[in-house]
Amino acid sequence: MRFAPFRHGRWAAAVTSAASDIGAVAVAPADALVDAEFMTASARAGLAVLPWTVNSADRVRELMALGASGVTTDHPGMVRCLVASAAAAAPQRSPGSSR
């Protein structure tokens, strides 16, 4: 038997729509399922994205750049360091600034 190819777009729309319909505030997909298309669908639905299990520093950086709200990992110290480094490198806003 042949299976239809996996289509992230259709899956992303179905998952985020179903999550939104039941009042979910977040989705927690397997790391391999998270891409820009999934993040866009989640943002449109107002859902936080918390992928699991992310153990690669490069993948954590990718997910941070895509806007993931957090990750599940076996290496929390690594993730903590990456988040701290990203925060330190971010441009500082002056108080009262809207940008």
Question: What is the CATH classification number for the domain harbouring 30?
Answer: 3.20.20.190
* Structural domain includes residue 22: yes
- Least confident interval from 10-19, 54-63, 88-97: 88-97
Local structure of residue 24 (DSSP, 8 states):
-
* Structural domain includes residue 96: no
Q: Which residue has the tokens 């669908």?
A: 41
* Structural domain includes residue 3: no
Go through 12-33 and write b for each residue having 16 or more CB atoms within 10 A of its CB, e for each that does not: bbebbeebbeeebeebbbebee
Q: Domain of residue 72: give its range.
A: 8-88
Provide mean pLDDT across the span 16-41. Answer: 94
pLDDT confidence tier of residue 51, bands split at 50, 70 and 90? very high
Angle in degrees, 0-180, between the axes of helices 36-44 and 8-21, rounded to the nearest 10: 30
**Which residues fall within 8 angstroms of residue 26, CB to CB, at 6 or more apart?**
19, 47, 48, 49, 50, 69
Number of domains making up the chain? 1
pLDDT of 5 > 60? The answer is: no
